Amino acid sequence: MQGNFKVAIAGGGVAGLTAAVALHRLGIEVAVYEKHYGSQQHTTGFTLWSYSADRLAEFGLGPDRLDEVGCAVETTEVRNQSGRVILPMPVGEVSRKLGADSYEIRRPDLLQALEGELPTGTVRRGEAVRTADVAGEKAWIELDDGDRVEADLVIGADGIHSALREVVVGPTELRDSGYRGCSALAPRPEEIMPAQTHIDIWGKGGKAGAGDVGRGDCRWYLTWKKKEDEERQTRAQLLEAYRDWDPLMPELIEATPESEIVHHAMFDIEPIATWRKKRIILVGDAAHATTPFAAMGANMAIEDIAVLVNELQGRDSTEEALVAYESSRKQRAEDIVQKGRRMSRLTQLHSPFAAWVRDQLFVHMAEKDAERITREMASGD
């Protein structure tokens, strides 16, 4: 990355903005092209594991900043459908041993914090990237209005419906997980939900959960089988469907205005042949879209950026760096996509007997095994 190296990034989500911040800190000229006119305001969140928090610290968003956009997790409680704790996970203790806390994050606040690290005008809103290609030693993107922008590197961070993935490998079919869901932020009910806690509820044919995101709020989420989707579109329908679950869930649903509940369809993609085309590279969901069941989506994107930037700094040529990045990340990311599929089955068993057997196995799990599982999650292994 010598001289006037320019990078064009398609997509202004976690992957795109993290890439922009990391490259800007190296003095690289960067522009982010985001199709939406406004910043993301969906009141949702996600778990930021220790290894990703450590990466964000390298890019200038250390613990003080993360405390502003979320809350450090001390304990994760896996519960069964009725609310019984079947597996306590010492997330705080394990994360600190790894070198950084894990967090529950308010997504729009993190995006705002990342954008705040960039010069004004870096993020070009309402400018969707339609396509891209390479010409000689340069790449270019074409916007929906027909304008073309030349760059030394194009990063496709444009999500699961990536236009740049089609440029790199052609049309890619999305795989339906068979589940739908919804999420929102709500006031944390202090009397039944401890501070600095994440609660994951494994039910029969679905799951639910909530995590303390700070400022007196928590994020909550639900998933269910696709065939039940029409029965769970309104808040009243959600309350009816979850009235017999852990009392935390109906209380959170009741406390959330209907307009604040964000519904999701859950898809992933099969491994694609390559993530790169000369000076065009894919990151995040554009490269390896996954379902939320492994709790790793945003974390994988942040790790992508850390590896990509490191390779760009340490290699003699851009294309050599992209080859090394893909070699380092591709199999690992694809393994996590498969893990998400396995977790979807484990956490949402349809058979009452199978769910009971699963719960008993976790209730009687040795403390050292619970710590091992926690370490695997917090370290991204």
Mind listing the pLDDT tens digit for each residue in 212-231? 999 999 999 999 988 888 88
Total of domains in the chain: 1
81 assigned to some structural domain: no
Residue 26 domain boundaries: 6-42+107-174+268-345
Kindly state the percentage of the chain with pLDDT values over 70: 97
Domain assignment of residue 192, yes or no: no
pLDDT value at residue 360: 83
- Confidence at residue 2, expressed as pLDDT on a 0 to 100 scale: 55
> What tens digit of pLDDT does each residue of 113-130 get?
999 999 999 999 999 999
Which band of pLDDT confidence, cut at 50, 70 and 90, is reported for residue 356?
A: confident
The model's confidence at residue 40, banded by pLDDT at 50, 70 and 90, is low
Residue 128 lies inside a defined structural domain of this protein? yes
Across 11-18, average pLDDT: 96
pLDDT at 61 over 90: yes
The answer to whether residue 79 is domain-embedded is: no
Where are the strands (E) in the chain, listed by range? 6-10, 29-34, 45-48, 70-72, 75-80, 85-89, 103-106, 123-125, 129-135, 138-143, 148-151, 153-156, 174-187, 197-202, 206-214, 217-225, 262-269, 276-277, 280-282
pLDDT at res. 41: 56
Q: Is the pLDDT of residue 50 over 60?
A: yes
Helix, strand, or coil here: 42? Answer: coil
CATH number of the domain at 128, please. Answer: 3.50.50.60
Quote the pLDDT of residue 316. 84
Range 290-318 average pLDDT: 90
Does a structural domain hold residue 19?
yes
Does any domain span residue 99?
A: no
CB proximity list for 294: less than 8 A, separation 6 or greater: 336, 337, 339, 340, 343
Confidence of residue 1 (pLDDT cuts 50, 70, 90): low
Q: Is the pLDDT of residue 293 over 80?
A: no
Q: Is the pLDDT of residue 269 over 80?
A: yes
Tokens representing 355 are 């769910």
Helices (H), 193-293: 235-241, 248-254, 285-288
User: In which residue are the tokens 């290894």 written?
Assistant: 51
32 inside domain: yes
- Residue 352 pLDDT > 80, yes or no? no
Average pLDDT of the chain, as a whole number: 92
- Residue 121's pLDDT is 94
**Which range scores top for mean pLDDT: 44-53, 338-347, 362-371?**
44-53
pLDDT score of 3 more than 60? no
Asked if residue 49 is part of any domain, the answer here is no
Tens digits of residue pLDDT in 238-268: 999 999 999 999 999 999 999 999 999 999 9
pLDDT at 347: 75
Q: Which two tokens stand for residue 195?
A: 């501070």
Q: What is the mean pLDDT of residues 300-322?
A: 94
- What's the residue count for the chain? 381
Q: Could you tell me what percent of the chain has a pLDDT over 90?
A: 76
User: What value does the mean pLDDT take over residues 154-167?
Assistant: 96
